Amino acid sequence: MNPESLIASASINIGLAMVVLSLFSILKKQPSKAPIYYAKRLSLSNDESFHHQNQSCRFLPSVSWISKAFHVSETEILLTSGLDALVVIRLFKFGIKFFVVCSLIGIVILLPVNYNGHVKNSMTSNNHHSMDLFTISNISRGSNKLWIHFACLWFISLYGLYLLHKEYNEILIIRIQQLRHIRHRPDQFTVLIREIPFCNVHNAHACCADHFFSKHYPHDYLSYQILYTGKDVEDLVSQAKLIARKIDDLKERSIARQTKRGIFLLKESEREKERLALLEEKLECLRLKIHQLQCENTLKQKEFPVAFVTFKTRVAAALVAQSQQHSNPLLWISSMAPEPRDVSWRNLTIPSRLSSLCKLGAVVAASVLTIFFVIPVTAVQGIAKFEKLKTWFPPAMAVQFIPGLSSIVTGYLPSAILKGFIYIVPFAMLGMAKLPGSISKSKEEIKTCNMVFYFLVGNVFFLSLLSGSLLDQIGESFTNPKNFPTRLASAVSAQADFFLTYILTDGLSGFSFEILQPGLLLWSAIRFCFCRRSKEKNPYLFSLPYYRVIPLVSLSILIGMVYAVVAPLLLPFLIGYFCLGYAVFINQIEDVYDIVYETCGKYWPYIHHYILVSIILMQITMIGLFGLKSKPAAAISTIPLLILTLMFNEYCKIRFLPSFRNFPIQSAMENDELDMKSNELEINYKNASKAYSPPCLQSFNSIESLGSTSTSTSSQPLVTTS
């Protein structure tokens, strides 16, 4: 990639980002766009005074939202959005802290060393890589200047490990405090029990659960809620909700017309009355059917071997969840229950014995997607390597006849196409993560994070690197096989220009469109044109997409770390990437995205793992480069650093990870003691016993008084089973 292509990519991305961010700052001030840009605030309160602006400033772009984002404290984020949202913000802050120091080292030390290297031969000039003079490939083989890169590698690695330890420790402290702050939540008193044996005497699972826990935990056991396979009831409830909404809409339209016209036309009034009576009759029929299916005798025939068991103390619940209940570990499988809004009710009906088969299906589906993704990545690298593409595909030379087009095609187009394909990957992986039947939405999204991250590492990073190097070197490698190691070392640094354009596109264009939300703007315009409900104020409320944000940001950290010593010119762009991402997601978390569950920071161990993988890849890459640059002493001396990093990983698994996987008994006891002092313990565990009501036990009263609000899955059950 030549300098013109890099300049074209930077110009397009910067220009596009400025236009999009300016448009966003204007649209954000328009009251009609509040359901899009203030969805979270509107869902919490109907007060719209927060988006009223001075009329003279409403149509002028501004950057006040950026400065406001940097003034939001971590305490505010924690109180309003929870620790999971704070973990996402701290991921951006980690990137800023790390790459600011790396940029100083790279610009002050490594760039002058690389530029003053001794490789000025035909190999560098023939490749036409715009960043070669500023990368390690410009250092001659066996040069003692490589020891400077070695020292910088040690410093950067140790600084990264220090930041990781600091973040892990601080987030663990915040997690313990957050568990104390939300100690009223029912999941702290509740254990999910799966594979409950069938009671042959009473022909039910429920009595077996009650007998087991009454016998083994007589002082701490409170109650249980068995799960039912009530899909037929859920279907009827869905139909009842739909009819109830139609009745509400019909009544609202009738009132609105009567207010507008004063008196109804007789025929129109009679038709609406007949339709309303018919809908109410259907709703009453559904109500009777639902009550028949919800009776105790009918439900006993639909019991499933899964139950939510509630205890009188958090300590008892934690001990039960973290211990083996039976000599056969495949029976009475226990774990801490997710919070009620996080429960994936349909997945709980999937038998545990089928989970392995479902996991295999998810692996096969992910593998198929990975194989198919090779095609667009290789095609993207073919476009990026335009000089080689002209040799292999002569019609591509026609692009050169249009001034400036070749720079746009090779500079901006490859990263834009790749970003477009990457956008659909998290959604596809989320569908695959649902196959194994996770017990909660949070576990599905955590699995999706893992799948997406490793998919991006394999397909976007390694495949881009290998396919780009292959296209660049395939001809010369066969004619001069002895020089292949040298050319490969140059090719690793040569891909820095492609990843620089990727960072620009993912950061400037990606974050800009993230905050603008063009999809919702288009959907809102379509609804306005066809539905003609301009006065509708319902917010477009969506949950924070952890599974999409965390892997993509972690990939950028990986790219930055691998190229921190190889091509330090890329590092300042990463600072801009993380600063813009920080401002964008502060805004989204504060105003747009809803928080549908809270795991108290369980995402951080995975983020820690992703960053550690990045550090290890950086070290392995440098070991290979030192070897290819005929500096075996530096390569051997880097091995202890790699071993130290692996030992640090094992230490973190022992020191921090168990406290994220389990509910510490000490913390549970302290929370119980706080409740005892405030006389809230009995209130909290009684509320917990009523919180886990399956959808098929939903009270019909909540449907009759539906209106436009969504129903809760934690309503009072109609049938008591304990």
Lowest-pLDDT range of 272-281, 355-364, 450-459, 696-705: 696-705
Lowest-pLDDT range of 32-36, 118-122, 453-457, 685-689: 118-122
Rounded average pLDDT over 362-389: 72
Q: What is the C-alpha separation between 114 and 491, in angstroms, rounded?
A: 16
Q: Does residue 131 share a domain with residue 68? A: yes
Domains held by the chain: number: 2
Per residue in 437-451, pLDDT tens?
Answer: 788 999 999 999 999
Q: Does residue 150 share a domain with residue 30? A: yes
pLDDT, position 42: 87
Specify if 167 maps to a domain.
yes
**540 compared with 265, residue with greater pLDDT:** 540
Specify if 357 maps to a domain.
no
Q: Does residue 696 share a domain with residue 624? A: no
Q: What is the C-alpha separation between 173 and 543, in angstroms, rounded?
A: 26
3-state secondary structure of 199: strand
Q: 676 is written with which tokens?
A: 């005892």
* Residue 533 predicted with pLDDT over 80: no
pLDDT, position 347: 85
**514 compared with 376, residue with greater pLDDT:** 514
* Residue 657 predicted with pLDDT over 90: yes
* Residue 564 predicted with pLDDT over 90: yes
pLDDT, position 391: 53
Specify if 358 maps to a domain.
no
* Residue 709 predicted with pLDDT over 50: no
Question: 198 pLDDT band (50/70/90 cuts)?
Answer: confident
Specify if 257 maps to a domain.
yes
Q: Does residue 647 share a domain with residue 594? A: yes
Per residue in 62-74, pLDDT tens?
Answer: 888 999 999 999 9
Are residues 185 and 676 in contact, defined by beta-carbon separation less than 8 angstroms?
A: no
Specify if 719 maps to a domain.
no
Q: What is the 3-state secondary structure (H, E, C) of 473-517?
A: HHHHHHHCHHHHHHHHHHHHHHCHHHHHHHHHHHHHHHHHHHHHC
Q: Does residue 166 share a domain with residue 245? A: no
Specify if 496 maps to a domain.
yes
Rounded average pLDDT over 558-568: 92
Q: Does residue 241 share a domain with residue 103? A: no
| Torsion angle (degrees, nearest 10) of CA 597, 599, 604, 609 | -100
What range defines the domain where residue 320 resides? 186-351+680-708
* Residue 661 predicted with pLDDT over 70: yes
Q: Does residue 203 share a domain with residue 137? A: no
Per residue in 121-170, pLDDT tens?
Answer: 444 444 445 567 888 888 888 889 999 999 999 999 999 999 999 999 99
pLDDT, position 145: 92
Question: 9 pLDDT band (50/70/90 cuts)?
Answer: confident
Q: Does residue 284 share a domain with residue 246? A: yes
CB neighbour class for 688 (10 Å; exposed up to 12, middle 13-18, buried from 19) = buried
* Residue 475 predicted with pLDDT over 50: no
Q: Does residue 697 share a domain with residue 594? A: no
Rounded average pLDDT over 402-406: 54
Question: 719 pLDDT band (50/70/90 cuts)?
Answer: very low
Are residues 192 and 281 in contact, defined by beta-carbon separation less than 8 angstroms?
A: no
Q: Does residue 196 share a domain with residue 175? A: no
Per residue in 295-351, pLDDT tens?
Answer: 766 666 678 889 999 999 999 999 999 999 999 988 999 999 999 999 988 888 887
Question: 638 pLDDT band (50/70/90 cuts)?
Answer: very high
Q: Does residue 343 share a domain with residue 227? A: yes
Hey, which residues does 223 pair with through a beta bridge?
310
Question: 381 pLDDT band (50/70/90 cuts)?
Answer: low
Q: Does residue 266 share a domain with residue 172? A: no
CA 340 to chain centre: 20
**Between vectors from CA 84 to CA 83 and to CA 88, what angle results, nearest 5°?**
110
pLDDT, position 493: 64
How many CA atoms does the CB half-sphere of 295 hold within 13 Å?
A: 8
Specify if 247 maps to a domain.
yes
Question: 530 pLDDT band (50/70/90 cuts)?
Answer: confident
DSSP sequence for 323-380: S--SSSTTSSEEEEPPPGGGB-HHHHTS-GGGHHHHHHHHHHHHHHHHHHHHHHHHHH
Per residue in 205-259, pLDDT tens?
Answer: 778 889 999 999 999 999 999 888 767 777 787 788 888 888 877 777 766 666 5
Rounded average pLDDT over 60-88: 92
* Residue 417 predicted with pLDDT over 50: yes
Residue with tokens 């075996």: 632
Axis-axis angle for helices 441-455, 355-384 (nearest 10)? 40
How many CA atoms does the CB half-sphere of 605 hold within 13 Å?
A: 20
CB neighbour class for 121 (10 Å; exposed up to 12, middle 13-18, buried from 19) = exposed
pLDDT, position 645: 97
How many CA atoms does the CB half-sphere of 595 hold within 13 Å?
A: 21
Are residues 220 and 318 in contact, defined by beta-carbon separation less than 8 angstroms?
A: no
Specify if 675 maps to a domain.
no
3-state secondary structure of 425: helix
**649 compared with 707, residue with greater pLDDT:** 649
Lowest-pLDDT range of 181-195, 390-404, 548-562: 390-404
Q: What is the C-alpha separation between 60 and 206, in angstroms, rounded?
A: 64
What mean pLDDT is reported for the chain? 81
Rounded average pLDDT over 251-277: 64
